[in-house]
Structure 1
Amino acid sequence: MAGLLLLGAPSANSLARDGTGDPTGPCVSTPAEYRAAWEAREVRCVAPSLFGTTHAQGQTSLYPSGFRYAWAGSSTNLEQYLKLRARYGDQPAKVGIGVLSYVGYPGLEDWSTPTDLEVYTLPAGVRAQVPAFETWFRLLDEEFGTTRAYPLAAQRDLVVAYSRLNRDEDVVGAFEKITGCRRDALLAGEAPSAEIGCNRSFLGALAAAGPSPYDGASSSACFANFQTRYRGDRDASALRGALYQCQDAGFLNTGVGLGYNTYANPFVCRPADRQSVRERYTGREFILPNALLTALPSRVDIPLDLGTPGQRDFLQTGYCR
């Protein structure tokens, strides 16, 4: 009956506060509203116009300045972060490290870099893109023209290797098959080298590309170096090396626009070794032109509490313990 008030029933704008249910309130549509929900430990739906990127505290751009593109989490990721905050706000390390794990950071057992979550809107005319392998090679063609540096046959082999995984195979296994770099060594934090099995094409691509943007170079110079200096077979391994070195497409990258990690998914109440490969995929990820934080129309910066390095057993034993 119209106008009937049901005492004790939840209102249309009620908010989930335990992180276990889906958001029911009005969607957060500005960065300021997102921060308010974060601070109040409220679970809210998030408008698709909002994006999130994690970065080192004090950084002045979304990604270090040499990167041509920044990686960004979608509004669905931002909703999941609110659930983490609501559920584990009294255990803040599970929130901060959980966000980084959901993004796809490796090496989190000892991660000590102070890290923030930037929530923002995009400048007019800027669109986020799905970071599929095909997207990367189209962007490179647009920037450099037809260079023949990325042969179609090699692109095909790379895509097929990642798209035909068996039920128990994951993207780290695909990376190992393509590059030769041993899974156990990568997950232990070792750098690519011949000592851990990385093949000639992959290592040759890294050497030809030169320094990473993490080391002060630029993505554009890195790709240009690969295109002109690489003398080996331009196979799937070489192309994977260029993306790895020049644009932070690490061994956890899926190539399909979804996140992944080998750690326990924070939202699956089982240890990591009892979670399926499918359960360890996380949220949607995008790429967009890297930008100074001051160039973003609207933004907020949320410091993440990472707790104490070396005291993060939940990465393996699970979050629900």
Structure 2
Amino acid sequence: MRRLFSSRSRTNGGLMILLFLACLYMTIYLSRTSSTQQQNININLFHDRDSVRTPAPLNQNDLSLNEDDISHFPIQLPTIDDCSPPKFDGNCRPLGFNSGPIPLTALASYPGSGNTWMRHIIEQITGIYTGSIYNDKSLQTFKGEGITNSSVVVVKTHRSPRNSLDDFTVSFDKAIVILRDLANAMVSEFVRHFSKSHNKEIKDLDGFFNEHERDLWTFTILQPDRWQKLYKLWLHDFKGDVLLVKYEDLVEDLRPQLLRIVKFLDIDVTDDVIDCVVCNSDGRFRRKHSNKTFTPFSIGRRKNLNFFITHINKKLPEYCNKSNVQCSGSLHYPHYSIT
């Protein structure tokens, strides 16, 4: 009798152990399943968020909004009080190609003057894709990249109105010309060219420019003359209507420049669209700013740059007095310190 009772006790004890292990296994399994499902939910939510259409990312060199540029030059992007929380999501207007007859308009500038940033702004305010005489693979988010006809609202170019040195034969009817301070534009273009990237972050600018000291010497000799000649060709020689927009005016007070642009392009726009573009002018590339200053140019080079600044300051009033050229704001650029 005792043996039977002892045997049954051992059997019951074994069953209890098996039952406990089974419960423990189910608890662990359910916990892992729940965790996996939660991870899948998080992943799906993340993908859904990314699938929402947002303004196309812009190449930071032509935008001239590289983190390096802004951290080393005292430039502030436009802000208005009612931009937080955002009033708009995605594009400010539905984007598409133009189907009717419009003038073929150049968006002309020296490289590094904010041309690609301006393309983003113009697309957002007009709802029409912008084109380019180039076919930059890094700018394929612009649906009109490489297109040079009236299906796009403006066509990006860093060339003269007619370049006799190549087969480029586009004849523009009018032009928006972006002018930026010579030194800032040169730094932006130098970094883009020698880093071989539109948006590569250069953490050590001093080291970068020291590494390319010989290139910088040649660049400083050649580029200022290219800068002033390009603007002479567009502001003096070009016969079509011209709207001159200073990069610094875009940065300091965007709204009035938007109104000038849409009037020049003969595009109807509502106040809501204007508000949207001001609030989202830099797309997904708003950078932190600092008051740190930086110049790679020696005193001798700055004296050379000042020669061209003196020249453009003298010529701008002359250009803007032409009946086909529209200007606004200050027509004077400060000289660079040589102390």
TM-score by length of 1: 0.25
Greater relative contact order, per chain length (Cα 8 Å cut-off, separation 6+): 1
Q: Which has the larger radius of gyration?
A: 2
* TM-score after normalising by structure 2: 0.24
Structure with more helix by fraction: 2
